[in-house]
Amino acid sequence: VRIPVVAAGGFFDGRGLVAALAYGAAGVAMGTRFLLTSDSTVPDPVKARYLAATVRDVTVTRAVDGLPHRMLRTDVVTALERSGRIRTLGHALRRAAGFRRLSGLTWRQLARDGLALRHGKELSWSRLLLAANTPMLLKSAMVDGRTDLGVMAAGQVTGVIEDLPSCAELVERMVKEAEEVMTALAGLAEGTRD
Ligand SMILES: Cc1cc2nc3c(=O)[nH]c(=O)nc-3n(C[C@H](O)[C@H](O)[C@H](O)COP(=O)(O)O)c2cc1C
Protein backbone atom coordinates (compact mmCIF):
# COMPACT_ATOMS: atom_id res chain seq x y z
CA VAL A 1 0.00 0.00 0.00
CA ARG A 2 1.08 3.60 -0.50
CA ILE A 3 0.02 4.82 2.95
CA PRO A 4 2.08 4.53 6.16
CA VAL A 5 1.21 1.35 8.08
CA VAL A 6 1.46 1.36 11.87
CA ALA A 7 1.85 -1.94 13.73
CA ALA A 8 -0.29 -2.47 16.85
CA GLY A 9 -0.72 -5.05 19.55
CA GLY A 10 1.88 -6.19 22.05
CA PHE A 11 4.39 -3.36 21.70
CA PHE A 12 6.02 -1.93 24.82
CA ASP A 13 9.75 -1.42 24.22
CA GLY A 14 12.46 -0.48 21.72
CA ARG A 15 13.05 -4.06 20.61
CA GLY A 16 9.44 -4.35 19.45
CA LEU A 17 9.75 -1.04 17.66
CA VAL A 18 12.80 -2.29 15.74
CA ALA A 19 10.99 -5.54 14.89
CA ALA A 20 8.01 -3.58 13.53
CA LEU A 21 10.30 -1.31 11.50
CA ALA A 22 12.06 -4.40 10.15
CA TYR A 23 8.70 -5.69 8.91
CA GLY A 24 8.22 -2.43 7.02
CA ALA A 25 5.90 -0.62 9.46
CA ALA A 26 6.17 3.17 9.77
CA GLY A 27 5.92 2.90 13.56
CA VAL A 28 3.99 1.29 16.40
CA ALA A 29 0.73 2.14 18.20
CA MET A 30 0.55 1.20 21.87
CA GLY A 31 -2.61 0.83 23.97
CA THR A 32 -1.74 -0.90 27.21
CA ARG A 33 1.72 0.67 27.45
CA PHE A 34 0.41 4.26 27.26
CA LEU A 35 -2.42 3.37 29.64
CA LEU A 36 0.30 2.48 32.16
CA THR A 37 2.04 5.86 32.33
CA SER A 38 2.05 8.54 35.02
CA ASP A 39 0.34 10.87 32.51
CA SER A 40 -2.61 8.51 31.92
CA THR A 41 -5.82 9.66 33.65
CA VAL A 42 -6.82 6.11 34.60
CA PRO A 43 -7.34 5.98 38.41
CA ASP A 44 -4.28 4.81 40.40
CA PRO A 45 -5.97 1.74 41.97
CA VAL A 46 -6.80 0.56 38.44
CA LYS A 47 -3.22 1.06 37.26
CA ALA A 48 -2.11 -0.93 40.34
CA ARG A 49 -4.31 -3.87 39.21
CA TYR A 50 -2.61 -3.88 35.80
CA LEU A 51 0.90 -3.61 37.29
CA ALA A 52 0.23 -6.55 39.63
CA ALA A 53 -1.12 -8.73 36.78
CA THR A 54 1.01 -11.48 35.24
CA VAL A 55 0.53 -12.84 31.70
CA ARG A 56 -1.72 -15.51 33.22
CA ASP A 57 -4.09 -12.84 34.55
CA VAL A 58 -5.00 -11.68 31.01
CA THR A 59 -7.83 -13.56 29.36
CA VAL A 60 -10.02 -13.44 26.24
CA THR A 61 -13.72 -13.52 27.02
CA ARG A 62 -16.99 -13.30 25.06
CA ALA A 63 -19.01 -12.97 28.24
CA VAL A 64 -19.39 -9.18 28.11
CA ASP A 65 -21.19 -8.63 24.79
CA GLY A 66 -20.69 -11.78 22.76
CA LEU A 67 -17.55 -10.52 20.99
CA PRO A 68 -14.06 -11.60 22.08
CA HIS A 69 -12.34 -8.99 24.30
CA ARG A 70 -8.95 -9.33 25.95
CA MET A 71 -9.27 -8.32 29.60
CA LEU A 72 -7.82 -8.70 33.06
CA ARG A 73 -9.34 -11.79 34.66
CA THR A 74 -11.25 -10.36 37.59
CA ASP A 75 -14.18 -11.52 39.72
CA VAL A 76 -16.48 -9.42 37.48
CA VAL A 77 -15.34 -11.31 34.34
CA THR A 78 -15.72 -14.66 36.10
CA ALA A 79 -19.22 -13.68 37.31
CA LEU A 80 -20.21 -12.57 33.77
CA GLU A 81 -18.96 -15.88 32.39
CA ARG A 82 -20.99 -17.79 34.97
CA SER A 83 -24.12 -15.85 34.04
CA GLY A 84 -23.72 -17.00 30.41
CA ARG A 85 -23.73 -15.25 27.02
CA ILE A 86 -26.31 -12.56 26.21
CA ARG A 87 -28.68 -14.06 23.61
CA THR A 88 -31.99 -12.22 23.87
CA LEU A 89 -33.27 -8.68 24.41
CA GLY A 90 -34.70 -9.83 27.75
CA HIS A 91 -31.30 -11.09 28.85
CA ALA A 92 -29.60 -7.86 27.68
CA LEU A 93 -32.20 -5.85 29.61
CA ARG A 94 -31.73 -7.93 32.77
CA ARG A 95 -27.97 -7.42 32.58
CA ALA A 96 -28.40 -3.67 32.02
CA ALA A 97 -30.77 -3.62 35.03
CA GLY A 98 -28.16 -5.38 37.16
CA PHE A 99 -25.49 -2.90 36.07
CA ARG A 100 -27.85 0.04 36.74
CA ARG A 101 -28.56 -1.20 40.28
CA LEU A 102 -24.86 -1.67 41.08
CA SER A 103 -23.73 1.59 39.46
CA GLY A 104 -26.48 3.75 40.96
CA LEU A 105 -27.18 5.30 37.53
CA THR A 106 -30.75 6.23 36.62
CA TRP A 107 -32.45 4.61 33.61
CA ARG A 108 -32.43 8.05 32.00
CA GLN A 109 -28.58 8.29 32.35
CA LEU A 110 -28.24 4.75 31.05
CA ALA A 111 -30.47 5.49 28.04
CA ARG A 112 -28.53 8.71 27.34
CA ASP A 113 -25.19 6.81 27.36
CA GLY A 114 -26.71 4.13 25.12
CA LEU A 115 -28.09 6.65 22.63
CA ALA A 116 -24.78 8.54 22.55
CA LEU A 117 -23.19 5.28 21.41
CA ARG A 118 -25.45 5.06 18.39
CA HIS A 119 -23.50 7.74 16.49
CA GLY A 120 -26.20 7.73 13.80
CA LYS A 121 -25.83 3.96 13.30
CA GLU A 122 -28.95 1.88 12.65
CA LEU A 123 -28.90 -0.45 15.64
CA SER A 124 -31.84 -2.39 17.06
CA TRP A 125 -32.50 -1.93 20.79
CA SER A 126 -31.17 -5.37 21.52
CA ARG A 127 -27.97 -4.69 19.50
CA LEU A 128 -27.71 -1.27 21.15
CA LEU A 129 -27.92 -2.76 24.64
CA LEU A 130 -25.25 -5.32 23.76
CA ALA A 131 -23.01 -2.64 22.22
CA ALA A 132 -23.57 -0.35 25.21
CA ASN A 133 -22.65 -3.05 27.70
CA THR A 134 -18.89 -3.07 27.05
CA PRO A 135 -18.23 0.71 27.08
CA MET A 136 -20.37 1.07 30.22
CA LEU A 137 -18.42 -1.63 31.99
CA LEU A 138 -15.13 -0.21 30.70
CA LYS A 139 -16.03 3.31 31.84
CA SER A 140 -16.91 2.04 35.34
CA ALA A 141 -13.38 0.73 35.84
CA MET A 142 -11.22 2.95 33.64
CA VAL A 143 -12.87 6.31 34.44
CA ASP A 144 -14.72 5.81 37.73
CA GLY A 145 -12.16 3.42 39.28
CA ARG A 146 -14.83 0.79 40.09
CA THR A 147 -12.72 -2.36 39.64
CA ASP A 148 -15.47 -4.24 41.53
CA LEU A 149 -18.06 -3.29 38.89
CA GLY A 150 -16.32 -2.69 35.58
CA VAL A 151 -13.99 -4.56 33.25
CA MET A 152 -10.40 -3.72 32.32
CA ALA A 153 -9.33 -4.17 28.69
CA ALA A 154 -5.75 -5.39 28.68
CA GLY A 155 -3.18 -6.38 26.09
CA GLN A 156 -1.04 -9.46 26.70
CA VAL A 157 1.86 -7.08 27.37
CA THR A 158 0.21 -6.23 30.70
CA GLY A 159 2.13 -9.16 32.17
CA VAL A 160 5.53 -7.65 31.36
CA ILE A 161 4.84 -3.99 32.16
CA GLU A 162 6.00 -3.09 35.64
CA ASP A 163 6.42 0.68 35.81
CA LEU A 164 4.63 3.99 35.26
CA PRO A 165 6.97 6.29 33.30
CA SER A 166 5.71 9.58 31.89
CA CYS A 167 4.87 9.45 28.17
CA ALA A 168 7.98 11.52 27.41
CA GLU A 169 10.22 9.18 29.44
CA LEU A 170 8.67 6.15 27.76
CA VAL A 171 9.15 7.43 24.22
CA GLU A 172 12.71 8.57 24.99
CA ARG A 173 13.55 5.17 26.52
CA MET A 174 12.09 3.26 23.58
CA VAL A 175 13.94 5.34 21.00
CA LYS A 176 17.21 4.87 22.93
CA GLU A 177 16.63 1.09 23.15
CA ALA A 178 15.75 0.92 19.46
CA GLU A 179 18.94 2.80 18.56
CA GLU A 180 21.01 0.46 20.74
CA VAL A 181 19.45 -2.62 19.12
CA MET A 182 20.00 -1.23 15.62
CA THR A 183 23.62 -0.33 16.43
CA ALA A 184 24.22 -3.85 17.77
CA LEU A 185 22.61 -5.36 14.63
CA ALA A 186 24.73 -3.13 12.39
CA GLY A 187 27.80 -4.34 14.30
CA LEU A 188 26.75 -7.96 13.72
CA ALA A 189 26.28 -7.32 10.02
CA GLU A 190 29.69 -5.68 9.89
CA GLY A 191 31.24 -8.74 11.63
CA THR A 192 29.61 -11.13 9.14
CA ARG A 193 31.07 -9.23 6.21
CA ASP A 194 34.66 -9.46 7.62
C1 LIG B 1 -8.34 0.44 27.91
C2 LIG B 1 -8.40 -0.23 26.57
C3 LIG B 1 -9.56 -0.08 25.81
C4 LIG B 1 -9.65 -0.68 24.56
N5 LIG B 1 -10.79 -0.52 23.83
C6 LIG B 1 -10.86 -1.07 22.60
C7 LIG B 1 -12.01 -0.88 21.79
O8 LIG B 1 -12.96 -0.21 22.18
N9 LIG B 1 -12.03 -1.45 20.55
C10 LIG B 1 -10.98 -2.19 20.07
O11 LIG B 1 -11.02 -2.68 18.94
N12 LIG B 1 -9.89 -2.39 20.84
C13 LIG B 1 -9.80 -1.85 22.07
N14 LIG B 1 -8.70 -2.06 22.83
C15 LIG B 1 -7.64 -2.93 22.31
C16 LIG B 1 -6.63 -2.13 21.53
O17 LIG B 1 -7.03 -2.11 20.20
C18 LIG B 1 -5.28 -2.78 21.68
O19 LIG B 1 -4.89 -2.53 22.97
C20 LIG B 1 -4.31 -2.20 20.65
O21 LIG B 1 -4.29 -3.03 19.54
C22 LIG B 1 -2.92 -2.05 21.16
O23 LIG B 1 -2.44 -3.24 21.69
P24 LIG B 1 -1.55 -3.17 23.01
O25 LIG B 1 -2.50 -2.84 24.13
O26 LIG B 1 -0.95 -4.54 23.12
O27 LIG B 1 -0.54 -2.09 22.78
C28 LIG B 1 -8.57 -1.46 24.07
C29 LIG B 1 -7.42 -1.61 24.83
C30 LIG B 1 -7.30 -1.02 26.06
C31 LIG B 1 -6.03 -1.20 26.86
Regarding the beta carbon of 7 and ligand 1, being less than 6 Å apart is answered no
Compute the distance from residue 95 Cα to the ligand 1 centre, in Å.
24
pLDDT tens digits along 97-128: 777 776 777 888 777 777 776 665 565 565 56
User: How do 58-61 and 69-72 pair as beta strands?
Assistant: antiparallel
**Angle value at C-alpha 144, between 31 and 48, nearest 5 degrees:** 55
Residues comprising the chain, all counted? 194
The answer to whether residue 16 scores a pLDDT higher than 80 is: yes
Ligand 1 pocket residue status of 31, Cβ below 6 Å: yes
- Counting ligand 1 atoms within 8 A of each CB, the residue from 30, 32, 64 with the most, and so the one to mutate, is 32
pLDDT in tens, 17-69: 999 999 999 999 999 999 999 999 999 999 999 999 999 999 999 887 777 89
Query: How many A from CA of 193 to the centre of ligand 1?
Result: 42
